[in-house]
Structure 1
Amino acid sequence: MTNVPAAQAVPMAEKVLSVCPDAFTPASRVGPVNWYLTQGGTMSRELSGRRVILTGASGGIGRALGAGLVASGARVALAARSAEKLNALADELRNAGGDVIAVPTDITRAADRQHLVERAVAAFGGLDLLVNNAGVGSWGHFADSTEAICRTVMEVNFFGPIELTRLAVPHLTRGNEPAVVNVTSMCGRKGMPAWSEYSASKFALVGMSEAWRGEFARFGVDVITIVPGLTNSGFDKNWLRTDGRADLRFADGMTPEYLAEKILAAVRANKAELVVGSEARRLLRFNRFFPRLTNWLLARKVKKLYAK
């Protein structure tokens, strides 16, 4: 498809789209599986009574997910680095009738990960869902960054979640309709200029998710990958660096509540992968059929930004 002239490619793409509207999705890259089909395990999942570990719970997407899980009747172990914010959220959710515990956690620390899993299992008697939502960003060009920043991004966004999952899997295998939910990014499906470290970390987590999906099937544990676009969650206020030039409008992105609703719907329906956000869908669909043109447009944008 990449060698077809653009004049022919567009009509061809329109023809494919008219036959199968969902062919323009990242999941179709690995085969003719419809993006909206469930994976091979559980076909629907009840959240009421489910025992959940949720990382990155103190703000933004995590806070909205915590509220949504509690509203659905789930029992939630809230994890984040800020004990103050975490305890405030836990009190708020308990006042709303939620069954939650707050476990201050730095997922880059092995002892914290171990403590989190042990606390959740002790409090709830087991584990059904692990939601890897914690993350950190870095905005700027790779040549201007440092090894320390790159390693921090990879520790928080990749090594922390996968090692937490390693600890959780033995408990998930004994859970009810168990699943691992990895909240990634559209940058995990298309590497973006000035997001090099972040893109690499999310690509790694997406790749691990795809491998796990096959591996964990023998345990009856599903793996759900969430690929969000721009979200007005305050995430951009806590980046490790912000020295890149960009024209990003996070304020125009999805609300955390909207994204949380979509994530929980994907968990209930057991979707293997869900791309959320119109700009993410447009970018990934366009890149699917016109990768060279997409790269050229991104490079041109960077040149314009740095020509000023």
Structure 2
Amino acid sequence: MRRQLAGKRCLLTGASGGIGRALAQALAQAGVRLMLTGRRQEALAELARQLQKQGSHADFYPADLTQPAQRQHLVEQTIRSLGGLDLLINNAGIGSWGHFDTSTPEILRTIMEVNFFAPVELTRLAMPHLMQGEQPAVVNITSMCGRRGMPAWSEYSASKYALVGMSEAWRGEFVRFQVDVITIVPGLTNSGLDQHLLRKEGRAQIRFERGMTPEYLAGQILRAIERNRREVVIGREARQLLFFQRWFPRLTDWLIGRKIRALYRKDSTPSSPPASGGNP
């Protein structure tokens, strides 16, 4: 099946910047009618005005998707604005960069709330409307960390793994409702995620500026939606990592472990032995 995007009604989360903003612009150019949501009201309003000037149907509703009442109001407002729903794109996300042993339960819970529970519960609310849509689909933007957990991204990896797993289960369940589930697995993207991390304590050098542009990623996501791809890995780095993870998992573990040991070698240097003659 090839999905025609023109005229589709779409709820897009995380639309106020980065990948979400680029995705909103690409969807609007393809003729999709949009409800944009995120936490930054001014950024959403500015984006909606820009798209409206270009002749697109773009509405916005700021919401904290971790709050049940705000999720409910968002879906209700979407149906009032668009008259129905054909596409739900779960794009909003947050990250934390630092090792688990120095992290906190609060950071883990925040990331799981934003990256997993929020999109899952939003999808629950949207499903009755998607079931009545035209060529409906749920599109989950995950990460290569959702297929290979990475050091210093433990909470983020766990949340994306959970969303990938839920996507696979939904794909089998939603088929009886003729609602497709599309999983997007991007690699490193220069999306601004590094500017909004809950903490920045990792030691590895991550060159976000060398990652994919949000515009390139948005174009690839639209292509996946049009072609109804079940799961698509985007970016050379992601494809290489997941290739090695699939065919050479022990080597992948060893290479990652060697890198971490090198970064933390000074921290693991044993202290000087006690003076001779002392008690053990």
Is residue 152 from structure 1 mapped to residue 121 from structure 2 by the alignment?
no
Query: Match for residue 234 of structure 1?
Result: 192
Query: Match for residue 66 of structure 1?
Result: 24
Of 106-115 and 221-230, the range deviating more from structure 2 = 106-115
Query: Match for residue 112 of structure 1?
Result: 70
Query: Match for residue 245 of structure 2?
Result: 287
Letter in 2 for 1:48: A
Query: Match for residue 244 of structure 1?
Result: 202
Distance apart, 1:98 and its partner CA: 1.1
Of 162, 166, 170, the match for 2:128: 170
Query: Match for residue 125 of structure 1?
Result: 83
Classify the secondary structure of the residue corresponding to 1:101: strand
Distance apart, 1:246 and its partner CA: 1.1
Query: Match for residue 77 of structure 1?
Result: 35
Distance apart, 1:305 and its partner CA: 1.1
**Segments of 4+ moved more than 6 angstroms:** none
- Give the Cα–Cα distance (whole angstroms) in 2 for the partners of residues 235 and 95 of structure 1: 28
Of 191, 196, 212, the match for 1:254: 212
Aligned residues: 266
Distance apart, 1:307 and its partner CA: 2.1
Distance apart, 1:227 and its partner CA: 0.1
Letter in 2 for 1:140: G
Query: Match for residue 190 of structure 1?
Result: 148
**Structure 2, unaligned stretches of length 5 or more?**
267-280
Of 232, 239, 242, the match for 1:274: 232
Query: Match for residue 258 of structure 2?
Result: 300
Q: Which protein has the larger Cα radius of gyration, Structure 1 or Structure 2?
A: 2
Over aligned residues, Cα RMSD in angstroms?
Answer: 0.6
Classify the secondary structure of the residue corresponding to 2:61: strand
Distance apart, 1:128 and its partner CA: 0.2
Classify the secondary structure of the residue corresponding to 2:37: strand
**Bigger relative contact order, structure 1 or 2, given CA contacts below 8 A and separation 6+?**
1
- Give the Cα–Cα distance (whole angstroms) in 1 for the partners of residues 25 and 74 of structure 2: 19
Matches within 5 A, 1:31-46: 43-46=1-4
Of 194, 197, 212, the match for 2:170: 212
Of 50, 53, 59, the match for 1:92: 50
Distance apart, 1:124 and its partner CA: 1.1
**How many percent identity over aligned positions?**
64
| TM-score, structure 2 normalization | 0.94
Distance apart, 1:306 and its partner CA: 1.4
- Give the Cα–Cα distance (whole angstroms) in 1 for the partners of residues 50 and 76 of structure 2: 24
- What does the per-residue CA deviation read over 1:211-251, in whole Å, with 9 as the maximum and x for residues that have no partner? 00000000000000000000011111100011111121110
- What does the per-residue CA deviation read over 1:73-132, in whole Å, with 9 as the maximum and x for residues that have no partner? 010000000101111111111111110111001110111111111111111110000000
Matches within 5 A, 1:128-143: 128-143=86-101
**Structure 1, unaligned stretches of length 5 or more?**
1-42
| TM-score, structure 1 normalization | 0.86
- Give the Cα–Cα distance (whole angstroms) in 2 for the partners of residues 229 and 78 of structure 1: 24
